[in-house]
Structure 1
Amino acid sequence: MSLQEILNPSIKKAVNELFEINIEKVEFQATRKDFEGDITVVIFPLLKLIKGNPAEIGSKIGTYLVENVKEVVKFNVVAGFLNIVISDDYYVTFFNEIKDNKDFGKRTAVANDKAIMVEYSSPNTNKPLHLGHVRNNLLGYSVAEIIKASGKKVYKTQIINDRGIHICKSMLAWQKFGNDQTPENSGLKGDKLVGNFYVAFDKVYKEEIATLVFNGKTEEEAKKQAPIILEAQQMLLDWEAGKPEVIELWKTMNQWVYDGFATTYKNLGVNFDSYYYESNTYLLGKEVVQLGLEKGVFEKDADGSVWIDLTEDGLDRKIVLRSDGTAVYMTQDIGTAIQRVKDFPDVGGMVYTVGNEQDYHFKVLFLILKKLGFDWAASLYHLSYGMVELPSGKMKSREGTVVDADDLMQEMIETAGRISSELGKLEDYSINEKEKLYTTIGLGALKYYILKVDPKKQILFNPEESVDFAGNTGPFIQYTYARIQSILRKANFDYQSVILNDNEEPLHVKEKELIKQLSLFPEVIQSAAHNHSPALVANYTYDLVKEYNSFYQTVSILGEENHDKKVFRVQLSQKVADTIKLAFSLLGIEVPERM
């Protein structure tokens, strides 16, 4: 049982008996390092109900707790803060309860509880995945794992944007300049091959625009009249008309891209339970427009177009059906959301992992679904995240200046290898062991660097900085885990059985602090799930590792003369390692047994 669970009812009872007042909530916070105490009760909120000096009120409650709650041994009051000191017995008992639980921190999903669907990745099939997609995938995957650990059933999904003019640009460029290249005969991953033709199209398009402008056209006219864009537009019309040879080329090139994506996803360590394709969903939602008209949610203009007026909600008018009867992206997203609930009837909410440039789109989407009367619309969340930039600036896929996801991962692995070699200590590793370790460190550095930042914030990504073996980095945490594994391998005695008990000598302050940090883990998972923020798990793990390293440097572990104390410290080390491993698994990061 957590300290809050023990103290909350006792403090409410104390306030009732001392002041004849019933309170609904007790406000706790961690005790500041410069004061004695394990947990602090904030007295100031009580002043709305109890008249008096906050220090006196805190002292009366503290005295009551010492006399009536066995876990409380003493207290002190600083201004309006009641700092409570908890007995060693509580911490020893708590540790003994959690030490063998490998899933400590996680909750089991409740039967018949509603599931959450998390959408992420959702790329276009005209180019490979890049650094921006890496942040998207890592965020979506981690949030899904954290929500699952918090006790919810989770489905991971994506919608693949496999139709439209941008797809036709790559297809047309391949027809014109491809010379029958394939992934097999070119040696390129399929998504990279297709992406090259997207860049090739843009190069020719710009050349044609320049020629037309030179011959007297305005730039706007030139963009519309360039021969290659007219051909791409015709190809899109042919695709929509189902022209066999266009459909066949579309299927072939898309499959090249899907195969390439699958390799990237595997290397990045993310997965999906279901896939949706825009080519199958772009007509969804049109039937919902009629439902909305009947309910008075939508309105039809004189030209036949259908709109929704959201001005009273602080937004604007939004079109959901063009005058020619064709759908817009909003209509498609409405239909896709409804379809997903049909496909997975236990879904009660969805998380959309999409960049912050789409904030307005999702406000409108969620509001429309609520107005259409879908109860699950109240549990929709846009996991909005900031852009990832490099020191050199923004990326542009049309110009081929993006940071390719595969190249980035390989660079991270090579950087990890170089830095690890410089640090030494790998002399007895085989080549395969070194390569596996470099991959674990490199990808761990990449993932941690991205996930430790609040999703809403922009990131300036520095590969070299992320592989630093000191500070708030993935490799620093991985190294601590490996250090603990080394301690466990050297512990040539039975340390599994519980030995420390109530009659032992007092806990060292570093032991106590470490157990306190471990006890926060379940709450961190719940908070991270609620806030859709892997950063909370990442930074908790860093704090745990800092606390452990302080413990490691202050007390003797294997050199401790008291056998029972030595066993306890090894057990404590093992529990920290288990927690690091579990926390990092929620971030999609592996931990090495040796470094």
Structure 2
Amino acid sequence: MNFIVAGAVKAIKELYGQDIAEDVINLQETRKEFEGQVTIVVFPVVRFSKKSPEETGNDIGSFLQQNVAEVVGFNVVKGFLNLSITENYWINLFNDTLLASDFLVVKPNGQKVMVEYSSPNTNKPLHLGHVRNNLLGYSVSELLKADGYEVIKTNLVNDRGIHICKSMLAWQKWGNGETPESTGLKGDKLVGNYYVVFDKEYKKEINALVATGQTEEEAKKNAPLIKEAQQMLLQWEQGDATVVGLWEKMNGWVYSGFDVTYKKLGVDFDKYYYESNTYLLGKDTIEEGLAKGVFFKKEDGSVWIDLTADGLDQKLVLRSDGTSVYITQDLGTAQMKYDDFKMDKSIYVVGNEQDYHFKVLFLILEKLGKSWAKGLYHLSYGMVDLPSGKMKSREGTVVDADDLIAEMVDTAKQKTEELGKTNEFTEAEKAELYDTIGLGALKYFLLKVEPKKRLLFDPAESIDFQGNTGPFIQYTHARIKSLLGRASYQFAQADYASIKLTPTELDMIMLLAKYPTEISNAAKAYSPAFIANYLYEVAKLFNKFYHEVPPIIKEEDTSVKQHRLNICKITADVIKSGMTILGIKVPERM
């Protein structure tokens, strides 16, 4: 709508003798209850006109109608100037832009961004919280690609520490040589089971010590199991061959298990970092900070930074014995990642319980004078809750990712079979369809909500073929593909000499034309929810259009038929493109 902005700037110059910047002109889509398609917000302009908003709106509206060919009418409602644009403009936009071969082609913007997500611990399987993290990280990566960025997807795996040693020790004591092969369990589940075993045995020891008169805190420290786990960690850090060998074997099981879950979720990574390789990083950064006066040493030799002037607190960055804390290795890892890829931006997809940590991390890097620190961003997200009793959970507390996926696919099977529309499908086609619908429902439900919001995930509600759900959008795509197939669709420009757009057709063109802007806005906000809810509006409006017009295949006017099939084709393309950004497959038939 550059012609409207340019026309409005010219109007203010000629009517009021004022030169203004184009960004003063605020354009909005006209609200449905008013006539017109584009609205100028007049309030920012009244300081130039020295008139009321209504008078100013009428002045500019009259000028535009007389001087801009595309403007055929206007009305003013308080401080809003609603403009009616000639139908010919929308037809040309549809033909020249939406139907152009490069409409959905990504144009590189020359910038590089890293998105770090997943970051699991290797002592347990992925769970519902990880699912939101993975889907969000993957989708944000695809969204940034669609906005022209070169994207590096990374996974920083937490593969060391006391929690890993707990699983290792429990397996060593009570595993009897079990393996994923001998048990038929995925490796991550087997290792996770032994983490649970450790916890149960540890609690027994604590209770026994408390019974002898120790406090609970004393018992937690003195329990033989925790002391053995701590000793094992020390041996690992010293490079003990037996302990390191066991660690490599059990982590190998876990990685194989993770890979299966990642494949089911449809997520991937370009680069893995491992905490076992990064936990000693950052000490050089501490020395750099001490030399620059950013950090200070206390009498006991510990190193700190004082962030009280920034509204935070004093933060320990190195212990008195010279060992690292989490922030130490995060400082070093941030530097290493930048050295590896020299990216313009780096996005950390981590739950909101780490909000404070990332504020501190980014602020320290800025104070250290890292030029790239301004490009760091914490994509904070809320927890996922389930309605009680809706889904079985492993150990009664954590919903296992694989169990969740299996239940979603099973629910998709039940609901689809109830509709009785898969009779002509082979068993293999049915299995693929149920997988597509189940995972589509899960992904869409988790991604349609703004990342920062905590959400309540209801599996049954997510697999509904009506409403703001993945299956509704998938079904709309399948309906369009079926129609195009039955019509033996071939692309051609329609002859518009005798075509009059219906109001809904005009709405369809306007909504589809917004797709590139929606991608850009979503990418700026790191929010796939923008795209999810836009696609719902597209699907909803298409179904309205589909039911309003006479059966398209039976349309006798070849120009009208071609035009409406073209609307169907670009709608399907936009839905597929947007759902791909969300990591969701769209079936050709349902």
Greater shift, 159-168 or 48-57, is seen at 48-57
Map Cα deviations across residues 75-113 of structure 1 (whole Å, 9 max, x no partner): 111111111111111111111123444663553213xx3
- Mind listing any 5+ residue stretches in structure 2 that lack a counterpart? none
Shift of 1:6: 2.4
Structure 2 distance, partners of 1:114, 1:573, is: 34
- The answer as to whether partners of 1:352 and 1:383 remain within 8 angstroms in 2 is yes
Gaps (5+ residues) in structure 1?
A: none
Written as runs of structure 1 = structure 2, the 5 A alignment for 1:543-558 is 543-556=537-550, 557-558=552-553
Q: Do the aligned partners of 2:36 and 2:82 also contact (CA within 8 Å) in 1?
A: yes
Residues 156 and 272 in structure 2, CA contact (< 8 A), matched pair in contact too:
yes
The amino acid of 1:402's aligned partner reads V
Partner of 2:157: 160
Report if the CA contact (8 A) 2:115-2:151 is conserved.
yes
- Whether the aligned pair in 1 keeps the contact of 2:124 and 2:195 (CA below 8 Å) is yes
Q: Does 1:123 align with 2:120?
A: yes
Counterparts of 2:3 and 2:350 in 1: how far apart (Å)?
41
Distance change (3 Å), C-alpha of 1:417 and 1:395 = closer
Q: 1:330 aligns to what? A: 327
Which residue is 1:532 aligned to? 526
Instruction: Select which of 210, 213, 237 maps to 1:216.
Output: 213
* Residue-by-residue CA offset, 1:267-309 (whole Å, 9 max, x unaligned): 1000000000000000111011111111111111111111111
- Cα 1:268–1:336 change in 2 (3 A) is same
Aligned residue number for residue 466 of structure 1: 462
Provide the secondary structure at the position in 1 that maps to 2:74. strand
The TM-score with structure 1 as length reference comes to 0.96
Quick check: 1:19–1:50 contact (8 Å CA) kept in 2? yes
- Give the number of aligned pairs: 587
Aligned match of 2:505 in 489, 511, 521?
Answer: 511
Matches within 5 A, 1:89-100: 89-100=88-99
Task: Confirm or deny: 8 A CA contact 2:73 2:83 kept in the other structure.
Answer: yes
Kept after mapping to 2: 8 A contact 1:116/1:155: yes
The 2-side partners of 1:395 and 1:304 are apart by 51
CA distance in 2, matches of 1:205, 1:10: 75
Q: Does 1:242 align with 2:242?
A: no
RMSD across aligned positions (CA): 1.6
Match in the other structure for 1:16: 13
Question: For each residue in 1:37-79, what CA deviation from the matched residue of structure 2 results, as whole angstroms up to 9, or x when unmatched?
Answer: 1111110121233211211211111111112222111111111
Mapped to 2, the partners of 1:441 and 1:293 lie a distance apart of 55
Q: 8 Å contact 2:98–2:512 — kept in the other structure?
A: no
**Structure 2 length normalisation: TM-score?**
0.97
Distance across 2 between alignment mates of 1:316 and 1:101: 56
SS at match of 1:270: coil
Q: Is residue 412–residue 463 contact of structure 1 (8 Å, CA) maintained in 2?
A: yes
1:460 Cα deviation from its structure 2 partner? 1.0
Q: What amino acid does structure 2 have at the position aligned with 1:384?
A: S
Shift of 1:214: 1.6
Contact in 2 for aligned 1:199/1:397 (Cα 8 Å): no
Show the counterpart of 1:46.
45
Partner Cα separation in structure 1 for residue 145 and residue 529 of structure 2? 16
Partners of 1:106 and 1:52 lie apart in 2 by: 45
Matching residue's letter, 1:130: H
Q: Percent identity?
A: 59
Question: Structure 1: how far apart are the matches of 2:415 and 2:102?
Answer: 33
Q: Which amino acid aligns with 1:149?
A: A
2:174 maps to 1:177? yes
Corresponding letter in the other structure for 2:138: Y
Aligned mates of 2:97, 2:44 — CA distance in 1 = 33
Letter in 2 for 1:349: K
Tell me the residue number matched to 1:138: 135
Which residue pairs with 1:298 in the alignment? 295
Question: Within 5 Å, which residues of 2 pair with 1:393-404?
Answer: 401-404=397-400
1:582 aligns to 2:581 (yes or no): no
Once the two structures are superposed, what CA deviation does each residue of 1:520-565 show, in whole Å capped at 9, x if it has no partner?
Answer: 1111101110001000000000011111111111112223232101
Describe the SS at the equivalent of 1:445: helix
Partner of 1:490: 486
* Amino acid in the other structure paired with 1:325: G
Q: For 1:101-153, what per-residue CA distance to the aligned partner results, in whole angstroms no more than 9, with x for missing partners?
A: 4663553213xx33110000000000000000000000000001101111111
Alpha carbons of structure 1 residues 247 and 103: separation in structure 2 relative to 1, 3 Å:
farther
User: Against the structure 1 CA distance between its residues 394 and 133, is the aligned structure 2 distance closer, same or farther, given a 3 Å change threshold?
Assistant: farther
2:312 corresponds to 1:315: yes
Q: Which amino acid aligns with 1:515?
A: I
C-alpha spacing 1:198/1:400, structure 2 compared with 1 (3 Å): farther
Please identify, of 82-91 and 430-439, the stretch whose mean Cα deviation from structure 2 is larger. Answer: 82-91
SS of 1:49's equivalent in the other structure is: helix
CA drift of 1:185 comes to 1.1
Do the aligned partners of residues 172 and 394 (structure 1) sit closer, same or farther apart at CA in structure 2, a change above 3 Å counting? farther
2:407 maps to 1:408: no
Contact 1:305 1:321 in 2 (8 A): yes
Which segment drifts farther, 360-369 or 16-25?
Answer: 16-25
**Residue type of the partner of 2:92?**
T
Distance 1:518 1:14 in 2: 30
Structure 1 position 594 matched with structure 2 position 583: no
What is the rounded CA distance, in whole Å, between the counterparts of 1:392 and 1:510 in structure 2? 42
Give 2:570's aligned amino acid.
K
Q: Matched residues in 2 for 1:299 and 1:395: separation?
A: 51
